[in-house]
Amino acid sequence: MGMSRITAAVMAGALGLSGCVETTGAPPSKEQQGAVAGAIIGGFYGLTRKGGNSLLKGAVGATIGAAVGGAIGHYLDSMERDLRQRVTDDRVQISRSADAVTVTMPNALLFPTGSAEVGPEMRQALAQIADHLMAYPDTTVDVIGHTDNVGDAAYNMELSRRRAENVALELARLGVDPDRIRAYGRGEDDPVASNLTEEGRARNRRVEIIIRPRQG
């Protein structure tokens, strides 16, 4: 079967699914977006398997992919709601993407200046996050440290790594299975704001806790 026919079959299935979820005129939810994305991935997977009717396999793959994508989207929606209910400190930011829920905590609240030791101010928030992680055991956790670009880049990388590791250790101390957690630093390599202003540098100095549904 030619690639053009494969693409046309999968896109037709995805468009059909997207039409089903756009009946109100409102933008599709994350769960609906996940279903459509899953349909496309599943459709291509089915169409490229050897043997049997390619169009039938594509349709089956799209259906399975849509179900999986929708289920993951629903699970992420549930995770995000639960986190927002548990975490009471409004200085902690919670965001949702297509495949993860991310908690962002400013370094100024987590650590004393120039230190990698977790201070007392954010311990309650970390305990609330740990409670959430234990309520959702089928997830993986990436703890990522970030800095601004002030000072030596190698020092910033090492500081961000030690800060991420100490947050991960704190989550484990609070009861989260350490085998679920990875910790690493990115130093100044992944800014979210301009380092030309103090406000921007403060936003860049952060620890992110990225929570994803476990795959497979």
pLDDT digits (tens, 9 = 90+) for 66-107: 455 567 889 999 999 999 999 999 999 999 999 999 999 999
Query: In this structure, is the dihedral angle defined by the CA atoms of residues 113, 96, 144 and 187, taken in order, positive or negative?
Result: negative
Q: pLDDT tens, 180-202?
A: 999 999 999 999 999 999 999 99
Phi, psi of 156 (to 5 degrees): -60, -40
Residue 189 bridge partners (DSSP): none
Collapsing DSSP to helix, strand or coil, 184 comes out as: strand
In the chain, domain spans: 3-80, 89-213
At residue 57 the predicted structure's pLDDT band, cuts being 50, 70 and 90, is very low
Quote the CA–CA distance of 63 and 14 in Å, as a whole number: 10
Name the average pLDDT for the chain: 82
Collapsing DSSP to helix, strand or coil, 152 comes out as: coil
Q: pLDDT tens, 119-131?
A: 999 999 999 999 9
Token pair for 69: 């994508």
Ramachandran class of 185: left when φ > 0, alpha when ψ lies in -120 to 50, beta otherwise? beta
**pLDDT above 90 (res 29):** no
Token pair for 59: 């349709």
Nearest to 160 by CA among 190, 140, 130, 181: 190
End-to-end CA distance of the chain: 30
Sorted by sequence, the CB contacts under 8 Å of residue 153 that are 6+ apart come out as 187, 188
Q: How far is CA 108 from CA 165, 184, 203, in A?
A: 17, 19, 10
Question: What is the share, in percent, of the chain residues with pLDDT greater than 90?
Answer: 64
pLDDT of residue 144: 98
pLDDT of residue 205: 97
Quote the CA–CA distance of 37 and 40 in Å, as a whole number: 5
Q: pLDDT tens, 150-178?
A: 999 999 999 999 999 999 999 999 999 99
Domain topology for 89-213: 60s Ribosomal Protein L30; Chain: A; (3.30.1330)
Q: Over range 19-32, report the average pLDDT.
A: 50
CB atoms within 10 A of CB 88: 10
Quote the CA–CA distance of 206 and 163 in Å, as a whole number: 9
